């Protein structure tokens, strides 16, 4: 099985931005009435006691284009709908692979969950004559010509906002609205078909869908109880770019769509400043107080390995982080021979445990720490089943191709205020973090500290 996780990094070299006046464009777009919103039950499939409902959802009309989605609700055998439900958002349409993943997460959560597809609507094409985006290829014989998907599509909408000042253009806004309409639909369907009252949601997704998870909470919708953004380690854009240049020496090659469209570095204009304010979750941090589970891969090629350090300390409320060692943007761990696991179990188990905690109002294991120059001081409230120190070395601050190795620590050290000493390398740089593995009625949860980077002594 493979998770379809695409990603992006938006960054620039302007000074840190302050939102003045307060940001309202996202909330205004989401709240705007749209009479095209509609849904209906398309299919119901039962298999070995498990039930999958597939709904056809029209979330909105954006720039003259109707956004349609598959919305699936997975009901494992012996479970019932709870007042809180997990919603995973992703691209594409419903498929057997996605259904397997949805059923697996629902079984681990121990309650029905939902999958929303088609985030964003794509592919789209440029209508060179009318200046609009369209679903019709300019050359039907070659539908790759002018095709806009994923990062290229988002970049195009950013360029159009800068040119028009139309606040509805940034693609993240309709992506968020799709999730808001999905919440509306789940509530209505659960009440009508399942005779259940769903009140709150945990919103999750990977990469740009993880970014959408952040912004759905930032929209002010009070039904968002918690978020679990995966592989979108790029909050606080101005600082992130500085860190990326320091680590890689240049912008990551993974953001070519943005450099090609001259969005990186971003033009120093009022419209550009406003754009980055509107789409950076960091700018909403004072109101983003819901519980958060952040899941990243240690070898994600899109951002520096210590990117979290640029915003972690400024996040409000209950927060957790899980680093998947020797994993890239798909969160599948690689063994020493470079073979990836079929299912990203560390990520799925941790996401499901966090989901179960939110759905059933159970406490998460407490794991806290402080970083010092040569140590990671642990301050856990619970003793884990396993405690590990993970380390990797590199010649520069670019650890994307480094191999992470672990050593077992005494689990009791997690609660005793132990300072885990990390010696600097003889040459180059060394990165390290501590991982706690908890086992409880929530399942297996992996929690990590921030990543500490040390340089060789000169």
Residues shown for the chain: 458
d(CA 73, CA 57): 13
d(CA 215, CA 61): 19
pLDDT digits (tens, 9 = 90+) for 195-207: 999 999 999 999 9
pLDDT confidence bin for 22, thresholds 50/70/90: low
- Output the average pLDDT for the chain: 92
Query: Which positions ≥6 away from 141 have C-beta within 8 Å?
Result: none
Token output for 206: 């990977």
25-364 fold: Rossmann fold (3.40.50)
Helix (H, G, I), strand (E, B) or coil at 65: strand
The answer to whether 89 and 213 are in contact (CB under 8 A) is: yes
- Is the previous residue joined to 256 through a cis bond, with omega within 30 degrees of 0? no
Let me know if the fold of 25-364 is the same as that of 366-458: no
- Is the previous residue joined to 123 through a cis bond, with omega within 30 degrees of 0? yes
| Residue 196 CB-half CA count within 13 A | 20
Q: Name the percent of the chain lying above pLDDT 90.
A: 81
Q: Name the percent of the chain lying above pLDDT 70.
A: 95
Sheet containing strand 133-134, strands side by side? 133-134, 124-126, 147-148
Q: What is the mean pLDDT of residues 413-433?
A: 94
pLDDT digits (tens, 9 = 90+) for 204-245: 999 999 999 999 999 999 999 999 999 999 999 888 888 888
Residue 121: what pLDDT? 97
Closest CA to 213 of 94, 89, 357: 89
Query: Which positions ≥6 away from 315 have C-beta within 8 Å?
Result: 285, 288, 292
CATH code: domain 366-458 is 2.60.40
Token output for 79: 């479970």
The answer to whether 223 and 202 are in contact (CB under 8 A) is: no
For the residues of 225-291, what is the DSSP string, one character each? EEEEEES----SHHHHHHHHHHHHSS--GGGHHHHHTT-SSPPSSHHHHHHHHHH-GGGGTTT--S-
Helix (H, G, I), strand (E, B) or coil at 359: helix
pLDDT digits (tens, 9 = 90+) for 249-303: 887 787 778 778 888 776 788 898 899 899 999 999 999 999 999 999 999 999 9
User: Residue 4: is its pLDDT beyond 60?
Assistant: no
pLDDT confidence bin for 447, thresholds 50/70/90: very high
pLDDT digits (tens, 9 = 90+) for 320-378: 999 999 999 999 999 988 899 999 999 999 999 999 999 999 999 999 999 988 999 99
Phi and psi, residue 213, nearest 5°: -60, -45
d(CA 65, CA 130): 14
Token output for 355: 């989901």
pLDDT confidence bin for 133, thresholds 50/70/90: very high
**Taking the domains of the chain in order of start, what are their residue ranges?**
25-364, 366-458
Closest CA to 235 of 9, 7, 400, 6: 9
Residue 11: what pLDDT? 31
Residue 13: what pLDDT? 36
Q: What is the mean pLDDT of residues 43-48?
A: 94
Phi and psi, residue 101, nearest 5°: -65, -45
The answer to whether 135 and 126 are in contact (CB under 8 A) is: no
Q: What share of the chain is helix, strand, coil (3-state, %, to 5)?
A: 30, 30, 45
Query: Which positions ≥6 away from 256 have C-beta within 8 Å?
Result: none
């Amino acid at each position: 099985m493979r998770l379809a996780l695409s990603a992006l990094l938006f960054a620039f070299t302007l000074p840190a931005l302050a939102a003045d006046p307060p940001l309202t464009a996202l909330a205004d777009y989401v709240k705007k009435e749209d009479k095209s919103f509609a849904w209906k039950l398309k299919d119901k499939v039962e298999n070995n006691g498990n039930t999958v409902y597939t709904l056809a959802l029209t979330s909105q009309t954006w720039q003259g284009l109707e956004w349609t989605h598959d919305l699936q609700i997975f009901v494992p055998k012996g479970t019932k709908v709870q007042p809180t439900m997990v919603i995973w958002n992703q691209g594409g349409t419903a498929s057997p692979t996605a259904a397997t993943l949805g059923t697996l997460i629902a079984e681990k959560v121990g309650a029905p969950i939902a999958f929303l597809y088609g985030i964003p609507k794509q592919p789209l094409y440029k209508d060179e004559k009318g200046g609009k985006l369209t679903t019709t290829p300019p050359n039907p014989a070659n539908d790759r010509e002018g095709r806009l998907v994923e990062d290229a599509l988002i970049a195009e909408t950013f360029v159009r906002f800068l040119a028009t000042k139309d606040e509805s253009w940034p693609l993240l806004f309709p992506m968020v609205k799709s999730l808001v309409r999905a919440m509306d639909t789940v509530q209505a369907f659960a009440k009508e078909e399942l005779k259940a009252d769903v009140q709150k949601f945990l919103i999750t997704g990977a990469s740009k869908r993880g970014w959408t998870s952040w912004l759905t909470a930032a929209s002010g919708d009070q039904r968002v109880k918690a978020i679990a953004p995966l592989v979108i380690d790029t909050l606080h854009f101005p600082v992130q770019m500085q860190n990326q240049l320091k680590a890689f020496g240049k912008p990551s090659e993974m953001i070519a769509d943005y450099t090609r469209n001259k969005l990186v570095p971003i033009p120093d204009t009022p419209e550009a400043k406003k754009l980055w304010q509107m789409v950076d979750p960091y700018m909403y941090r004072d109101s983003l107080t819901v519980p958060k589970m952040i899941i990243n891969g240690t070898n994600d090629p899109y951002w520096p390995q210590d990117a979290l350090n640029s915003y972690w300390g400024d996040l409000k409320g209950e927060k957790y982080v899980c680093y998947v060692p020797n994993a890239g943007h798909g969160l599948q761990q690689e063994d020493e021979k470079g073979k990836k696991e079929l299912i990203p179990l560390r990520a799925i188990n941790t996401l499901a445990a966090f989901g179960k905690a939110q759905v059933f109002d159970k406490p998460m294991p407490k794991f806290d720490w402080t970083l010092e120059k040569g140590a990671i001081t642990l301050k856990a409230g619970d003793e884990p089943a396993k405690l590990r120190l993970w380390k990797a070395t590199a010649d520069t601050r670019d650890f994307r191709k480094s191999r992470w190795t672990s050593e077992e620590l005494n689990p009791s050290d997690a609660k005793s205020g132990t300072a885990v000493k990390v010696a600097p390398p003889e040459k180059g740089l060394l990165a390290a973090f501590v991982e706690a593995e908890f086992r409880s009625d929530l399942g297996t949860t992996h929690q990590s500290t921030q990543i500490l980077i040390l340089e060789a002594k000169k």
